[in-house]
Amino acid sequence: MRSVRLKYYDHRFTIPVGHPVFAGHFPGNPIVPAALLLDEIVCAMAATGDLPINDCSISSAKFYSTAAPGELLNLRVLVADALPMTFEVHAGARLVASGDFSGHVLERL
């Protein structure tokens, strides 16, 4: 039986309360737009540097709850042998978003 090796990458971040996007995203009850959340995920992946991938992009995403300005978010990326890379974003114990990446694995884990 073949074992699957896993690696997890975690990145904590916030979208600052003063970010200009909140002026147009529901003044009085602002939320982090999905596009901004996805951009943060892709930027975090690119900045990690030790992920064995190339040409990373998000192939699917699902949103479960909203995130507020300044809320601490935790991105967890799972990289496994021969499996698609996946991500989850949590605010505390609450799942905010999840999805899959497309990309080319450059080396085995």
* Structural domain boundaries in the chain: 6-105
Cα–Cα distance between 58 and 20 in angstroms, integer? 24
The yes-or-no answer on residue 25 being catalytic is yes
One pLDDT digit (tens) per residue for the chain, 109 residues: 566 677 888 999 999 999 999 988 788 899 999 999 999 988 887 776 666 556 667 899 999 999 999 999 999 988 877 677 899 999 999 999 999 987 655 554 4
Q: How far is CA 14 from CA 9, 65, 73, 84, 106, in A?
A: 17, 16, 6, 26, 30
Q: Which of 19, 25, 90, 104 is catalytic?
A: 25
The model's pTM is 0.84
Q: What is the pLDDT of residue 2?
A: 60
**Per-residue model confidence (pLDDT) at position 67:** 97
CATH superfamily, with its number, for domain 6-105: Hotdog Thioesterase (3.10.129.10)
Distance in angstroms (rounded) separating the CA atoms of residues 81 and 19: 38
